[in-house]
Amino acid sequence: MSLVHGLPSVETFEAAERGEFVLGGCVMDPGPTPRWACAQCERALGWEAEAEFAAPQVGLTRVATWNLRLCPSPGYARGSEVARWQEKLAADIWLLTEVHRDWTSESGWTSVSPPRGGTDRDIKRWAGIQTRLPMTPLDDWSSDVPAAEESLCLARVELPEGAGSTSVLVACSVLPWRGAGKYWPGIPEKDLNAQQTFVLQHHMNRIDDAWDGEEPILWGGDFNQELRPLAPERKAAGYGLAGTIAGIERLQAAFDRFGLRPLTASSEHLNPEAPSIDHLAVSERVARGNAVVHRPAYDDGTLLSDHAAYTADVEL
């Protein structure tokens, strides 16, 4: 829910009592200005403290996903802020969507998906995997389904000595959204369910072909699909379902196919009143808790992306 600061008028008080937003008070604390608040407890959201985030516990690996919005260029102002937040969140494996072809940061080496068919700007890619660990890309740039392949980045990441497995199969996906056909030539033109099915099935086939049946899997990215049914009160407030009703079952069935637990099923989106459409799913046996939601921002509180970032510590 939106957070409103300053001296409220009578009309503002009345609107807050109706639950239209949360009052943030007249006095502004130093530092970033939060833009959102929890509708239940009215706790400020939308920014993170400057204190360093705790590193993963010994024996756990931190994984993360984040839609960077508009493929920020490395080294420029927003790209530098994205890289700074990557270091703060301290993930060992990043699943990045809307990523620059040449993305680089101290968080490791990046492999990106093939060029997008809907733009002549080759630098814009749908998906990428970034890690400091040894990584072998498994992308198929000569795929006979190029429209679906362009939103998948697939790699095998080697794990440190002493880990429970020698490697983890990592997949970063983007699935279609309402209106995607206009920007994504090669997928079914209009029906979102048909578009989702077309792309998701190809990604599942690619993961299945690469998987040895034993190694753990990390699959995430921007699926443009909530995993929770639309609650009546949310529907009454005018919020629509992101994705489709059939898409909830379809995506969960895809995770079930590989024995994965989505750690973001109950996570919030950037707007705390909406469920996440970005997901992190890992093999059931390595899952150790749900994802943590982060809303990275500049020092002035301006958010870096129109998506939250998500981290989770898993026992690979």
**What are the residue ranges of CATH 3.60.10.10 in the chain?**
61-314
Tens of pLDDT, residues 52-63: 577 888 889 999
Q: What is the pLDDT of residue 23?
A: 64
Q: Which residues of the chain have pLDDT under 70?
A: 1-52
Which three-class secondary structure state does DSSP give residue 258? Answer: coil
Structural contact between residues 284 and 232, judged by C-beta atoms closer than 8 angstroms: no
Q: What is the pLDDT of residue 90?
A: 96
Tens of pLDDT, residues 89-135: 999 999 999 999 999 999 999 999 999 998 888 999 999 999 999 99
At CA 297, angle to CA 295 and CA 302, rounded to 5? Answer: 115
From residue 78, give the alpha-carbon distance in Å to each of 74, 86, 297, 305: 8, 12, 10, 10
Structural contact between residues 19 and 238, judged by C-beta atoms closer than 8 angstroms: no
Which three-class secondary structure state does DSSP give residue 262? Answer: strand
Question: Dmax of the chain from CA atoms?
Answer: 64
Helix axes 192-210, 245-257, angle to 10 degrees: 10
Q: What is the pLDDT of residue 54?
A: 79
At CA 268, angle to CA 273 and CA 93, rounded to 5? Answer: 160
Structural contact between residues 99 and 173, judged by C-beta atoms closer than 8 angstroms: no
**Residue 1's closest CA among 17, 29, 20?**
20
From residue 271, give the alpha-carbon distance in Å to each of 26, 222, 249, 267, 303: 23, 15, 23, 11, 11
- Residues whose CB falls within 8 Å of the CB of residue 30, separated by 6 or more in sequence, listed in order: none
Q: Note the CATH number of domain 61-314.
A: 3.60.10.10
Q: What is the pLDDT of residue 307?
A: 98
